Structures are given as C-alpha cells and as structure tokens.
Structure 1
Amino acid sequence: MTRNVFVVGLNDYNAERLKRLRGVEDVAFHQLLTPAQVYETQEFDIPAMLAEAEAQLDAFDGSIDAIVGYIDFPVSTMLPLLSAKYDTPNASLESLLKCEHKFWSRQVMNEVVPEHTPNFTAFDPFDEEALSKIGDAGLRFPFFVKPIKSSGSRLGFRIDSPEDFDYATEKLRAEIGSISEPFNAILEKADLPEDIRTIEGHYCMAERVIGGRQCTVEGYVHDGEVTCYGTVDSIRYPQVLSFFYYLYPSTLPQKVQEQMWEISRKVMEHIGYDNAGFNIEYFWDEVDNQIWLLEINTRIAQSHCDLFEMVDGVSHQQVTVDLGLGRKPDMPHREGAHNVAAEFFYRVFFSDATASRVPSRAEIEVAAEQVESTRISSYLQKGMTLSQLPEQDAYSFAVASIWMGAKTRSKLLWNYEQVMKRLNYEFDDILD
C-alpha cells in the first residue's frame, strides 16, 4: 500500500532528492503549499496558509500518512498544528515553542544547563527605556540583540554602543512586524505560561556576546530517545558575523563534540520534544574550554542536506521522512562518495545595490562542471536589488550558494576558488 507524505513547500530539486532516501519505494511525496508561499516571500499570512493547507489535505482522496517540512519559520511552526489535526507524528506545539520562542527557550536552557547558557533578557524595541532596562538585567556592552522569533540571522545585531542600539532598534521597529504578526498567530494557538504569554512576537532578546568556534549538532527524538548523528562547522568570514561556509564533518575535537551531544540530549529530554528532528547551534570557546548553547531549531538544517548526502550517503531528510511516518530513522554513516563536504556562501558586503549582471544558467552549469558533484544556486536576477533577497543577515547579502565535496578540506577550498572564477556578478547603484 502506498504511503502518502505531504511536504510543505516542496520544490523540484528536493522532490528528486527525496526519492533517493532509504525505504521510500512505497512512498508518494506530495507538495503541500508552494515554495512561493512559504519561503520565496517575506509576508506570511499564517491563518490563510493553514486554511489552504487544510483544504488541500481535506480534498485528498487517500491516506495522509505524514506531514513534514525542512524549512524554518513559518513552516516549522505550522507542522505541529497540521499534524495534530490529521493525527500524524510530530512534536507538540508547546514543546516546539520551548525551542523557537527565544526567551522561553533560554529559560528552559537555564533550568537544565545554566553553565552553558549566557546571560539574557527580553526587551520591547518600542520601549524608549529599553536600553536602561537591559542594563538593569546585568548586561553591559557588548551584547547581541535579535527577535524572540527569528530565522537565519535576520535582524540580529551586535551592540557595542548606544548608537549601535539606536540603529538596531530603528531597524527592528521598521521590520519586525513581518515576523511578529505571524508568530503571534501561532502563539495564540498554544497553551503558554503567563510569563511567556506576555512576551509577544514583537519582543526581542538581548544576550551576552558569546563566541569561539561555531557549529551545529543535528539530531532527532524518536519515542522519547534523543539521538545526535552529526556535527557541522559554521565558518564565518574574518572579522564579520556573516557565514562563509558550512563544513561536514566537524573539525572540532571529538571530546568537545561528545560534550555537545550530551548537552543536546539533556536539553531536549527536559523540553519534552519528541518525534521530530532538531538542530542545536553551539560555540566552543577554545581558550576557556567553554561550550555555549546558542539556539535550538526544530527541524533539520536544509543547508546541510547535500553535505550529509555527499559524506554519509543520503540527505538527512531521511530523518524527517522516517519520523513523519512514525519509524526510527535509518540514517547511514560515512557511506557517501566524499570525505568532506561544504556549502559556500558567495556574499557581497554592500548596504544595497542593483544587480546589473548575473551568471546565466549556462554559465552556472559550466561553473558547476569544474568539480564533480557541485551544485550552485544563484539567488539574484538581473535588475533585482539586494534588499529584495529574503532571509539575509544584517551585514551582507548571500547572492549564491555552492555545495561541493572532496577528499580533504584543503582540496575543497581549492575547488571552491576554481568554481568562483566562473561566476560573474556586477552591481550598480551601490550603497556602501
């Protein structure tokens, strides 16, 4: 009997990749909502999206065996609601929000791993006294601010001075509504403690600046058992907060990785998160041998799918699909064609600009052919402004991503340089 798996925001590339997973010979994958509706936009009408998804599911003439996704907000927060209505396995909405509501998440972390949780407080960016209240909470410059619900590094700022805080709050006031309004629509459906209910979607977090070598632990919970299966390094450009590339497997000492995995198990058990994948971002301060927990994401990292397929043999969407079907994930280890793999980000460091030239599809194909198993996604079209790109950090714009594998890290970096020589972007109206 065919089992039907509905994937929110499924695109053509991922539809093909899902067919390469283990144990899907009897599985039919169906798109639930389009990519344009869930991530090729910065406007999220969650009630309308849920209503359309439910109408599509109600009209389906067959069994609904799993409802899954691999995309951050708003998809991650919609999945528990859809799964609860159609009786498919997933984490509860409240356990998911203990991860995704950044203030609630920090409270939970502080309960179980306080030694790995930086000092933090919530603040209202529309409050003229916010900066003094942050100081009253014990935070001093420098600190970091971000929305209580963010995706990627959007609207995250390092604050070194009152002027930095003024700049950040100006940006937050102007743009946070695109996050806060849809997130509030989710919060209204959850059973929240009163102290969390008062911290609404427009609130932000201020946290002690933490640093070191950054990485992401990928894992899942199945029937209450927490399993971690990989660590991916997050390498930043020198002297800036923007990511240069993600590298798998991690180069961190094995003992440090094992400590992070144990922290992950302890936190996810404490939260009560179950029957879903997750990834947790960490810093390791090598000088002080201190591990800091940065944040928890309630999904696999889509950016890491190619990396796991290249190194381990299949995309870790294996985890998402298996859990969605109620079975323990059958995730292989080191069965891929490459020893190491990475996603590189081709970035420009302008305040804004207009793309006057972008690589053609043929040029991208030629560039990818320079190295076996290379995949390139260009995010710009001629005439677009950089500010039209969704989900960008506050310091740069990623105009393309390049996924590739190799035998060694040095060979991987050399291959990236060869591919980049083939990609030519030009810009007009540049704002530095």
Structure 2
Amino acid sequence: MGENIMMHDTCKKNIFVFGAEEFNINQMKALASAKHYCFHELLTHQQVKCWNGHSVQKIHKSAMERLKAFSGSVDAIVGYWDFPVSTMLPLLRQPFGLPSPSYRSVLICEHKYWCRLEQKKVIPDYIPDFCAINPFDTNAKQSVTVQYPFWIKPVKSASSHLGFKVRNDTELDQVLQIIRKKICRFSRPFNYMLQFAELPDEIDAVDGNYCIVEGIISRGRQCTLEGYVYHGDMTVYGVVDSIREGQHRSSFARYQYPSTIPMRIQREMIATTECFLKHIGFDNGPFNIEYYWEPIKAGRDRIWLLEINTRISKSHCPLFRDVDGATHQKVMLELGLGEKPDFPHREGKHKIAAKFMWRINHDAYIRHVPSAQDLQMLEHEYADANIQLHVRSGMRLSELMDQDSYSYEIAVIFLAGNSQQELLQKYRDLKKAMQIELEPVG
C-alpha cells in the first residue's frame, strides 16, 4: 500500500489502520459500508511487529507524528493485531478525543498477572491457581505456589511464545533458562507501555520481566467469544471453537465457526464475561475471550477463563464472512467511529467455516513450496479458499518468528463448506495438492 490509496475525501470518514497489511485491508474494503470510508495506513504490519532496530517507543512516536501531520479529520484509529497494537491504541486515540476503552482497562487485560488478580475478585470460580515469579531470581523455584504440573509464560507475550508445560523441578530449571534468554523480546517494549499507567502496588513491581504460573486448565473443549461493549452494554455476536493438537495439546489446529458447545454453557460464559468487563470498566471497544468447558459426568460442569484480548481476532474474519455475511472488522470499524455495531447473522454462503493452521512438530529444511501461481490455481479450484504460506524454499523452520514452544506454523488455510466432514476433506485434499517438501534437521 502506498500514498496513492491515502487520498482523502472530505465526505468520507478517515480511518487510520494501525499495522496495516494487504489481506485485512482488502477484507475491510469489501464491506458494503466501506464506500463511506477512506482507509489510511498508520505504519505497516512489518513496522509494528518487527522490533529489531525499530523499538516500540519509535513506533509510538512515528504513529503520533503521522496522525498529527494529517491535514483532514482523524475519525477513527483501529487495529486488529496483538501487542503492541492493541495496547497502544487507547494512547493514540486519546489526544483526538476518539471513542476507546480506557488505557487502564486495556492494560489489565494485556498484563496476564494483573488480569488474574482482578478476575479473582469477581469470578474466582472460573480461574485456576496462579502466582507470579521472577525468572531472574535465584530463588525463583521457591516462589512458585502452584503444584505441578503447571503452565508458565511471561506476563506479556503473543502466540503462546515462551509458554511451557512444566511437570517437575528439572523441567522448570530448563524452561527458566530459555525464558531468561528470550523474554526481553516482549519485556522491554511492554515495560515502555507500563510507564503510561498508574499501577496498583501489587502490580508496580511485576513488570514485563516476570512470568505467571498457572494450574493446568487445558482440558475439555476450548472456544472464543467475539463481542463488544458499547456505552456500557455488552454483546456477544459469535462463538468460535478452537481445536488443539500436538504435544500437551498446546498448538491450535483450527478455529471453526459456529461453535457446537451447548447454549447453556455459552450463556454462562457470556454472563461471566459481562461480570468481569464491568468490574474493570471496559467500554466502547471490541474483545475476544477464550474459555475451556470441561464436562463433568457427575456434578457441575467446569468453565475456565483462559485469557481476554482487547481486539477482534483477525483469524476469525473470513469465518464470519463465510457464515454470517460480513467480516467482523465491521464491528471494529463502527465502534471506532463511535457507532453501535449492526452485524448480520447467518447471511453468508456457507453453514460452517474454519481457519486451519498447518503445523510441523520438528525442525526441518524446506525443499519445495508451491509458487504464487500454483497457490492462485488452488484457490480457484477450491472455491472460497485462502492460502497464506509462511515458508519459502531453502529456509529452516526454526527461522520463523514468534512460534509456540512445541510446533512451527508453515501455512494458514481458510476454507468453508456445509458440513464438518466436507470441510476436513477439503483441507486434506488441499494440503496434498500443495506438495510441500520437508527434510528433517539431523
């Protein structure tokens, strides 16, 4: 994208997209309401996600300078990426008086330990045991109050980066060594963001260099509620199932919409979400919140709150388009403009849709991948498919950035259909047709 698409029409709303990239911009431009908008690039995805030589402080400064230099009206600032985009949005909106959740409410959700502390005050039955530890403390093991096995992860990361399942002291020693070496990728920029908030005493010392330890809750079925709060009223417009696979079931295999979790369970999740968001004062913004449902044969079902994000999930956009008739970027854009979202329901061409994450559980060299022309032909053959390839011939999987601790994501494939059987068969056929060749390392 270049300045040629940035020409602004005084009759249209000027919407700045923080961390813009082609795939999501094209989805937004395809919305029926897009004829009323002018989209402007507020830094590229590459600039906001790659911090080598481009610090978060520089990102913040560059974005603010770009906004202040704009000659027209700044009507909305939106973003669909995780950190630092979701964290920084309230700071960018505030000088222009734009609708936004408060910075404090966003930061609570972004800081995993602070978020658990607030959840414990109002929804304690829906969260696991947890504690904070300093991985650089020589007595870190002694500060753990959660029994093995448990999960450990930084208080701020993304895509399960540096998240580990730990079963004993030996494994804890091993993962602490890894965390100490790599945590600075997120801790340094997150600490920059923390300075803009007045932190409570129990959080002031727990900065981005800390980790949270949590009891295991990765049992049962996982789903994500997509919703928003507008002038104090919360709405959930879709529930998406998250299917995991691999070692410790730690890696996402696909997101599938609509959810098949029983409505009585969905209603309890919605009520729990509303209780928490009112407690922290989250308003005028989108969110997605992840839960586990653990059916119990005798007695009460268990519902566990995993985490909450203060943005839409971009991964779910094509799923809503295929099933409901519009990407839920529509919700993000209307909230950004201060409008109550008007989102369709079951007006799409398909009954079911999914995002598949093609993962490899070991390091390998890439010997062959399909060409851009090959991918176009496959997308034409498999109607409504979209293929995003993350690898190239000659590279090694361990060169990929920000992967989870147990697998490498080599491609993302969006597909839709009228049954789960049809959907899964399409995925198997498409993977085979792509003819990706791997050679294991060692």
User: TM-score under structure 1 normalisation?
Assistant: 0.96
User: Does residue 87 of structure 1 match 2:87?
Assistant: no
Identify unmatched segments of 5+ residues in structure 1: none
For 1:296-331, what per-residue CA distance to the aligned partner results, in whole angstroms no more than 9, with x for missing partners?
Answer: 111111110110111111111111100100001111
The answer to whether residue 198 in structure 2 is matched with residue 187 in structure 1 is no
Do structure 1's residue 312 and structure 2's residue 324 form an aligned pair? yes
The aligned runs of 1:33-432 (5 Å cut-off) are 33-39=43-49, 45-134=55-144, 137=145, 139-210=146-217, 211-237=219-245, 239=247, 240-287=249-296, 289-350=301-362, 352-428=363-439, 430=441
Deviation at 1:25, TM superposition (A): 2.1
Amino acid at match of 2:374: E
Task: Give the conservation status (yes or no) of the 8 Å contact 2:224–2:242.
Answer: yes
Q: CA deviation at 1:150?
A: 1.5
How many residues are matched? 427
CA drift of 1:428 comes to 4.0
Q: Quick one: higher RCO (CA 8 Å, sep 6+), 1 or 2?
A: 1
Which secondary structure does the structure 1 equivalent of 2:394 belong to? coil
Change over 3 Å in CA distance of 1:56–1:42 after alignment to 2: same
Question: Partners in 2 of 1:293 and 1:131 — Cα distance?
Answer: 26
Offset from partner CA, 1:188-226 (integer Å, 9 cap, x none)? 111111211110111000000012111111111111111
* Contact 1:231–1:250 (8 Å) recurs in 2: yes
Contact map agreement 1:311 1:335 (CA 8 A) in 2: yes
What whole-Å deviation, never above 9, does each CA across 1:24-68 have from its counterpart, x for those lacking one?
322101110012112356776111001111111122110000001
Letter in 1 for 2:430: V
CA distance in 2, matches of 1:20, 1:167: 48
Give the secondary-structure state (helix, strand or coil) at the position aligned to 1:145: strand
Question: Per-residue displacement from partner, 1:110-168 (whole Å, max 9, x unpaired)?
Answer: 1111000111000011112212210xx2x111001111012111111111111221221
Question: 2: distance between equivalents of 1:87 and 1:354?
Answer: 50
- Are the equivalent residues in 2 in contact too, given 1:43–1:178 (CA < 8 A)? no
- Displacement after TM superposition at 1:387 (Å): 2.3
Does residue 16 of structure 1 match 2:23?
A: no
- Which letter does structure 2 place at the counterpart of 1:421? K
| Counterpart residue identity of residue 397, structure 1 | Y
Counterpart for residue 6 of structure 2: none
Relative to structure 1, is the Cα distance of residues 43 and 70 closer, same or farther in structure 2, using a 3 angstrom cutoff? farther
* Structure 1 contact 363–422 (Cα < 8 Å) conserved: no
Change (3 A) 1:42 1:217: farther
Tell me, yes or no, if the aligned pair for 1:367 and 1:420 is still in contact at 8 Å: no
Question: Which sections of structure 2, spanning at least 5 residues, go unmatched?
Answer: 1-10
Aligned partner of 2:69: which letter? A
- d(CA) in 1 for partners of 2:32, 2:192: 36
> What does the per-residue CA deviation read over 1:79-125, in whole Å, with 9 as the maximum and x for residues that have no partner?
01100122211111111011110011001111111000111000011
Contact 1:275–1:323 (Cα < 8 Å) also in 2: yes
Pair 1:402–1:42, CA change in 2 (3 A): farther
* 1:20 Cα deviation after fit: 2.4
RMSD over aligned Cα atoms? 1.4
